[in-house]
């Protein structure tokens, strides 16, 4: 599906990676409902910086009991780190956090780390994100954290971390909005479907628009 109405967030991410390359580390929080296009936006961004900047990706999984530091274990080989299978006590966890920060700094080039679906992250991973957010200013690293803002209530651990980081100078927040009716009309052009009805049905959510357009027939449910 064509990426529409995302020029501004792409431009903002371009600027954030330039600032990180200049030694002004950033942590960018990207919120939006499921299907709003966070992954599509980051795929487009990765293509833009391919060959210029190292990109690491860690995904949080929708598990009933998330594995402690699961996303960090995914990153460990690329960072040259080894994480044991056993539970880490507070001191060991802090040493690991400092090792992650040091490994990112030692890359010798700007590094982008994408943390996807942080609303599913375990507590230790969220603690690491908070730790990094407070310490990456002055370093060549950009962290991008995506989350579903409609799935984090007032007591959600991620919501608490967002509050903790609100005044940190290296933190930036973005919210992806639904597509406009005009954008939905462009996507529906040639499909034979009623674009206005499609917009009303989907609310401009790109995933749902694409699902309806991919379905057989020309009617809108």
Q: Are 164 and 27 in contact (CB under 8 A)?
A: no
Residues 199 and 161 in one domain: no
Residues 142 and 95 in one domain: yes
Q: Specify the higher pLDDT residue, 87 or 57.
A: 57
Residues 199 and 160 in one domain: no
2 inside domain: no
Residues 78 and 96 in one domain: yes
Residues 85 and 191 in one domain: no
Residues 120 and 38 in one domain: yes
196 inside domain: yes
Residues 209 and 138 in one domain: no
What's residue 153's pLDDT? 92
Q: Specify the higher pLDDT residue, 220 or 51.
A: 51
For the segment 117-174, what is each residue's pLDDT rounded down to a tens digit?
A: 999 999 999 999 999 999 999 999 999 999 999 999 999 999 999 999 988 989 999 9
Mean per-residue pLDDT for 5-19?
97
Residues 11 and 78 in one domain: yes
pLDDT, averaged across the chain? 92
152 inside domain: yes
Instruction: Using a pLDDT cut of 70, give the percent of the chain over it.
Output: 95
What's residue 219's pLDDT? 60
What's residue 82's pLDDT? 86
Residues 95 and 193 in one domain: no
Residues 26 and 109 in one domain: yes
Provide the number of structural domains found in the chain. Answer: 2
Q: Residues 75, 77, 83, CA angle at the centre, nearest 5°?
A: 80
Q: Which residues form the domain of 209?
A: 181-214
What token pair was written down for 164? 């903790």
Residue 107 pLDDT class (50, 70, 90 cuts): confident
Residues 139 and 190 in one domain: no
What's residue 90's pLDDT? 86
220 inside domain: no
Residues 126 and 199 in one domain: no
CA 102/CA 114 separation, integer angstroms: 17
What's residue 49's pLDDT? 94
Q: Specify the higher pLDDT residue, 221 or 167.
A: 167
What's residue 209's pLDDT? 95
CA 64/CA 187 separation, integer angstroms: 37
CA torsion angle for 182, 186, 190, 194 (degrees, to 10)?
-30
């Amino acid at each position: 599906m064509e990426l529409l109405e995302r020029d501004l967030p792409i431009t903002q991410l371009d600027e954030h990676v330039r600032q990180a390359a200049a030694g002004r580390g950033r942590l960018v929080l990207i919120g939006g409902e499921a299907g709003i296009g966070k992954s599509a936006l980051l795929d487009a961004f990765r293509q833009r910086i391919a060959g210029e900047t190292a990109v690491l990706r860690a995904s949080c999984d929708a598990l009933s009991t998330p594995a402690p530091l699961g996303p960090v274990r995914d990153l460990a080989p690329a960072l040259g780190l080894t994480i044991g299978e056993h539970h880490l006590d507070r001191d060991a966890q802090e040493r690991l956090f400092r090792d992650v920060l040091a490994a990112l700094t030692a890359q010798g080039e700007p590094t982008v780390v994408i943390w996807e679906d942080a609303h599913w992250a375990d507590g230790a991973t969220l603690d690491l994100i908070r730790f990094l957010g407070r310490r990456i200013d002055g370093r060549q690293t950009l962290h991008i954290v995506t989350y579903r803002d409609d799935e984090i209530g007032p007591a959600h651990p991620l919501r608490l971390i967002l509050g903790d980081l609100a005044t940190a100078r290296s933190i930036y927040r973005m919210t992806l909005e639904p597509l406009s009716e005009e954008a939905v009309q462009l996507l529906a052009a040639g499909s034979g479907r009623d674009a206005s009805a499609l917009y009303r049905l989907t609310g401009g959510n790109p995933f749902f628009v694409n699902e309806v357009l991919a379905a057989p027939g020309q009617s809108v449910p």
